[in-house]
Amino acid sequence: MKRKMGRLQDGNRKQPWNGVQGKNWRQWWIVMIVLTLLAGMNYACSDEDPVKEDTENNDDNNKNPEEEENNNTENKGTTEDEKVNKLVFDFLSDYYLWNDAYKAQTLDFTLDYQTFFEKGIMNLKVNTLDVRPYETTDGYGNTVTKYTHFSYIQEIPDYTTTRAAYEKEKEMSFGFFGFYLFVSKKDKVSGDDYVSFLIKGVYPDSPAANAGLDRGYILETYNGKDIRLSNYLEVFSAIMYPTTSTTVTVAGFTSKNGVDSATKSYTLTSEAIALNPILKAQTEQVGTHKVGYLCYASFEAGFDQELLNEFKKFKSEGITDLVIDLRYNHGGYVVSANLMATCVAGTQSDNKVFAEYRYNDTRMKALGNQRPQEMFGQKLSLTQSIADGKLNLSKVYILTGAESASSSELVINALRGIDVEVYLIGQNTTGKNVGMEVMRIGKNESKGKDLEKTYEIAPITFQSYNAKGFGDYQDGFKPDMVVDETYPFNMENFSIYRPFGSQEEYLYGFALEKITGQTIIQRPSNTRSVVETSATVPVASSQRLTAPLPKKGGMIKMGVNTELTE
């Protein structure tokens, strides 16, 4: 059982948009939709969906002995769904943070497993740290409130061999990290508007990266056809989550200083690859400061060695300041968050509390109502010393956004708990102060051996606190410097994304200004004008549509009752 801390998940719900098209971006009437979907995350949010995170439970001592029998009862379901639902009910009755309210419900075990899981979570009123409201529009300018949740269940590939606790997991991918989607043209004849995909980033050594695509490129066609409202969800799913090795052709361009490049076609073949979450790492001299920069997409424990290697480079290169880019990081393994925070703080973190965890009342009673503590540098996935990666910094700059969640917020909270100054630049974080313990069931797992498929169950099972006992950050962490990367300077028109680590990239550029006292970012003469054009948007940024947060990816800890137990 794995423990994670992560974010809410986006749903693939089609919404009506208005707009006008054109390659001349200054003439486009655009309705923006921000979809915070990341590669490697399964976004399955409905109007009733909640958000999830994982936690770690290292022994069986915090289980209620009286409820142990529930986990060992014979699975009497006759269909696959009924069998899965019985295991889900037993697991959540023991581990869900609000387990008493959960198991008091009368549920229909004949439902399909997704509906059963959703109803069991969404019917409760006490689980407000799991189920979250969000506001969006209905496509006609009306603001509506919907709900999503962090907890999730999903079918996963079968594993025929025993898995290591922390390993690189391969998935079929073209290597796209995510997109910012928008309507680029209104087709007044058909009403089927044109949609463009602005690339947020690509994973290194992936098919997309090897083809020359990068952050800031804009895709307009897929397999020779325009991307439209009628097919954009299919295109999104096809290029973000291919299930087999597939060859596709996309066409697009980029823009700089108001000049669009020529449209170019790119032929890509998806591959089974382990997606390296280190999107960019560099050291540069800026004035008298040697600044390290790390853009980190998710806390993947299988890449902890690579993460430590980057901190070793920072130390050997003698950096004076560090900027960590977590703006799109939905979370992940707690051990990876601990590694990052320990390397930042260095010896200041020795023998200090990284985090404390609160479980449900039943489990806390078994623990004597004492929150278990995890120390800095404890239970890391690496067996080697991390001394050469300890930077001993008293201050760190972290770039944040609405997608910064779970283990990203855990790092912020843990460092502030030992008085390391954390300066945030960007936007308010998600506010995910809870996590999950993940259990897998299936024929090759310790539970559910009579099932035909394999499933991953990840309910919210704990809340995290720092060394000072602070854990009430469900409203997110507010930035010290507010910057909207899409609408800098509160402009009416949005800006094309610049490469990570470029001094022209707004969040990083403003971090350099704070560090050096120099002017790095060029200011517009008129805040209603465009700093970097193509893609101008003559609608106010307040009219943007806000997507629900992603579900999978969170605060994940290793737990009990599976081969993954620590």
DSSP symbol at 27 = G
CB 519 within 8 A of CB 513: yes
Q: State yes or no: pLDDT of 564 exceeds 80.
A: no
Query: What does the pLDDT average to over 480-486?
Result: 90
Cα distance between residue 21 and residue 27, in whole Å = 8
Low-confidence winner among 224-238, 245-259, 436-450 (lowest mean pLDDT): 245-259
Cα distance between residue 209 and residue 174, in whole Å = 9
| Local structure of 488: helix, strand or coil | helix
Cα distance between residue 340 and residue 387, in whole Å = 12
Low-confidence winner among 43-47, 221-225, 354-358, 432-436 (lowest mean pLDDT): 43-47
Query: What does the pLDDT average to over 538-551?
Result: 33
pTM of the model: 0.82
Query: What does the pLDDT average to over 489-514?
Result: 86
Q: What is the pLDDT of residues 252-302, one digit of tens each?
A: 878 776 677 888 999 999 999 999 999 999 999 999 999 999 999 999 999
Query: What does the pLDDT average to over 537-541?
Result: 30
pLDDT at residue 59, rounded to an integer: 41
Low-confidence winner among 89-98, 213-222, 474-483, 551-560 (lowest mean pLDDT): 551-560
Query: What does the pLDDT average to over 364-382?
Result: 94
Instruction: Kindly list the domain boundaries of the chain, sorted by start residue.
Output: 171-273
pLDDT at residue 549, rounded to an integer: 37
Q: Which of 147, 165, 156, 154 is nearest to 117 (CA)?
A: 154
488's tokens: 């800098």
The runs of H, that is alpha helices, within 388-494 are 407-417
Cα distance between residue 406 and residue 553, in whole Å = 8
CB 219 within 8 A of CB 248: no
Q: Which of 537, 489, 486 is nearest to 26 (CA)?
A: 537
Q: State yes or no: pLDDT of 21 exceeds 80.
A: no
Cα distance between residue 58 and residue 378, in whole Å = 13
Phi, then psi, of 316 in degrees rounded to 5: -65, -30
pLDDT band at 139 (very low <50, low <70, confident <90, very high): low
Cα distance between residue 297 and residue 40, in whole Å = 10
Query: What does the pLDDT average to over 487-513?
Result: 85
pLDDT at residue 105, rounded to an integer: 96
Query: What does the pLDDT average to over 147-156?
Result: 92
Average model confidence (pLDDT) across the chain: 81
pLDDT at residue 381, rounded to an integer: 84
Low-confidence winner among 181-185, 236-240, 463-467, 506-510 (lowest mean pLDDT): 181-185
Q: Which of 39, 72, 132 is nearest to 548 (CA)?
A: 132
pLDDT band at 429 (very low <50, low <70, confident <90, very high): very high
Highest mean pLDDT among 34-38, 196-200, 550-554: 196-200
What CA dihedral angle connects 480, 485, 491 and 496, to 10 degrees? 160
Query: What does the pLDDT average to over 509-538?
Result: 66
Kindly state the percentage of the chain with pLDDT values over 90: 59
Q: State yes or no: pLDDT of 35 exceeds 50.
A: no
pLDDT at residue 470, rounded to an integer: 98
Q: State yes or no: pLDDT of 425 exceeds 70.
A: yes
Q: State yes or no: pLDDT of 66 exceeds 70.
A: no
In three-state form (DSSP H/G/I as H, E/B as E, the rest C), the secondary structure along 87-137 is: HHHHHHHHHCCCHHHHHCCCCCCCCCHHHHHHHHHHCCCCCCCCEEEEEEE
Q: Which of 34, 48, 158 is nearest to 551 (CA)?
A: 48
Query: What does the pLDDT average to over 83-106?
Result: 97
| Local structure of 153: helix, strand or coil | strand
Q: State yes or no: pLDDT of 114 exceeds 90.
A: yes
171-273: CATH number: 2.30.42.10
Query: What does the pLDDT average to over 86-97?
Result: 98
5's tokens: 């801390």
pLDDT at residue 140, rounded to an integer: 66
Q: What is the pLDDT of residues 337-361, one digit of tens each?
A: 999 999 999 999 999 999 999 999 9
pLDDT at residue 195, rounded to an integer: 86
Query: What does the pLDDT average to over 421-447?
Result: 95
Cα distance between residue 226 and residue 44, in whole Å = 26
pLDDT at residue 163, rounded to an integer: 53
Nearest-5° Cα angle at 219, 521 to 551: 80
pLDDT at residue 194, rounded to an integer: 85
Low-confidence winner among 29-33, 95-99, 142-146, 317-321 (lowest mean pLDDT): 29-33
pLDDT band at 384 (very low <50, low <70, confident <90, very high): confident
Q: State yes or no: pLDDT of 363 exceeds 90.
A: yes
Q: Which residues have C-beta within 8 Å of that of residue 436, sequence separation ≥ 6?
A: 3, 4, 5, 6, 52, 53, 54, 55, 150, 151, 458, 459, 460, 461, 462, 554, 555, 556
Q: State yes or no: pLDDT of 159 exceeds 80.
A: no
pLDDT band at 196 (very low <50, low <70, confident <90, very high): confident
